Amino acid sequence: MTTRGGDGTATPAVKTRKPRSSRTGRATMADVAERVGISAITVSRAFKRPELVMPELRQRILDTAQSMGYVPNQAASALASARSMTVAVLIPSMTNMVFVETLAGIHDMLLPRGYRALIGVTHYSPEEEERLIRTYLQFQPDGILLTGTDHTPVARTYLSALASPTVHMMELLDDPDSLSVGCSQEEGGRLMTTHLLERGYRRIGFVAVQLDPRTLARLDGYRHALEEAGLYDEARVWRLPDPSSIHLGAAMIDRLMAENTDCDAVFFCNDDLAQGALFQCQRRGIRVPDQLAVAGFNDLPASAWTTPTLTTVATPRYAIGRHAAAMLLDLMDGKEPPQRRLDLGLTFIAREST
């Protein structure tokens, strides 16, 4: 109390000084400005519009900010500028590699431009998507990336009432007002089925799980191709709402055997299942492709390594993520993207299993 009086004794009459840092204990822009001896707006510009500040001063500001541990407050910035620099991304699942790689494409495109992704997982449920849209709208995202085209009416209302640009990934939309990047799942189903027909298979089964719109589109492609060949038979289609897994694929082989089906080939709606099927065929001594051909979809890494290797269709998911993000960046800049509907195609990969 006598010698080391602290602030109180040192500046008894001076009370002009503003609080050194905010309520939260963090340094604010005003703190940095005061320390450098300039106004807050110049600090703001040093960060956001560097070309407007003399290089020397700018450096001094950055150094001071660093030494004070100053970090800009994103909430305040968003509030004042009406730009959140945030993009909301909704995907159906995180455990499905397909969407994770799409995310990687999105990140690689957005981060260098200063945008951040807010990731939401819908678990393939439009209702959950609606809930997530509501939640994420609170962040006033500058843009939105959605998976698929299956949204609830309320979700559509939110999105259309909103100014934020939106791009749909995976499926392609025909509506000229909407933007979409993806590939035709129906064509994928058709491609694979045609391949199986060409290889001489005639009793081709289809296993659909999860029953999300993309799976059903593949099923459509399969059905159309077989109908055209006059070989479609509803009895060879299995529809299960369960999530996809290796386990389920293996179980399906058991079921096919138990039911004594006459399939000479089975087209699984994705690679997880097909891999499980291959594993189980190996266990049970079912010769693939002689006794039974197996086909998948998506080309997961392991599909090139199973015994036998798996015939599948590769989807350009990383590219879909990149292009969707690029399209969104254009929109957020107020530019019209080169195209509103971008089909990135599919790659058919014939391997040993067919």
42 lies in the site for DNA, by CB under 7 A: yes
353 lies in the site for a second copy, by CB under 8 A: no
Name which position in 5, 7, 11, 41 contacts DNA (CB under 7 A): 41
- Scanning 65-73, 166-174, 187-195, 329-337 for contacts with a second copy by CB under 8 A, the matching segment is 65-73
187: Cβ contacts below 8 Å, ≥ 6 apart: 221, 346
307 lies in the site for DNA, by CB under 7 A: no
Q: Contact letters (x/-) for a second copy, 70-109, by CB under 8 A? A: -xxxxxxxxx--x-x---------xx-x--xx-xx--x--
| Partner interacting with residue 121 (select from a second copy, DNA, none; CB below 5-8 Å by kind) | a second copy
26 lies in the site for DNA, by CB under 7 A: yes
Name which position in 42, 180, 270, 280 contacts a second copy (CB under 8 A): 280
Residue 60 to residue 180: CA distance in whole angstroms = 46
85 lies in the site for DNA, by CB under 7 A: no
| Partner interacting with residue 59 (select from a second copy, DNA, none; CB below 5-8 Å by kind) | none
Q: How far is the CB of 157 from DNA (least distance, A)?
A: 18
CA dihedral of 6, 12, 13, 15, whole degrees rounded to 10: 40
| Partner interacting with residue 116 (select from a second copy, DNA, none; CB below 5-8 Å by kind) | a second copy
39 lies in the site for DNA, by CB under 7 A: yes
Residue 199 to residue 20: CA distance in whole angstroms = 77
- Scanning 16-24, 95-103, 247-255, 261-269 for contacts with DNA by CB under 7 A, the matching segment is 16-24
- Name the DSSP letter for residue 311: B
Residue 54 to residue 46: CA distance in whole angstroms = 9
Taking CA atoms, 292 is separated from 201, 238, 253, 351, in Å, by 9, 16, 10, 14
CB atoms within 10 A of CB 242: 11
Residue 295 to residue 307: CA distance in whole angstroms = 13
| Partner interacting with residue 53 (select from DNA, a second copy, none; CB below 5-8 Å by kind) | DNA
76 lies in the site for DNA, by CB under 7 A: yes
* Spatial CA neighbour of 310 closest among 244, 250, 354: 354
| Partner interacting with residue 248 (select from DNA, a second copy, none; CB below 5-8 Å by kind) | none
- Scanning 8-16, 77-85, 184-192, 239-247 for contacts with DNA by CB under 7 A, the matching segment is 77-85
Residue 297 to residue 315: CA distance in whole angstroms = 8
CA-based end-to-end distance of the chain:
88
Q: Contact letters (x/-) for a second copy, 3-42, by CB under 8 A? A: -------------------xxxxx----------------
- Asked if residues 145 and 325 have their Cβ atoms less than 8 Å apart, the reply is yes
Name which position in 21, 140, 152, 194 contacts a second copy (CB under 8 A): 140
- Asked if residues 149 and 281 have their Cβ atoms less than 8 Å apart, the reply is no
CB nearer to a second copy: pick between 222 and 297: 297
Q: How far is the CB of 23 from a second copy (least distance, A)?
A: 6
Residue 235 to residue 107: CA distance in whole angstroms = 43
Residue 126 to residue 280: CA distance in whole angstroms = 34
Exposed / middle / buried, residue 25 (Cβ in 10 Å: 0-12, 13-18, 19+): exposed
- Scanning 171-179, 187-195, 240-248, 336-344 for contacts with a second copy by CB under 8 A, the matching segment is 240-248
Q: Which residues bind DNA (CB under 7 A)?
A: 19, 22-24, 26, 28-30, 38-42, 44-45, 47-48, 52-54, 57, 72-73, 76-77, 79-83
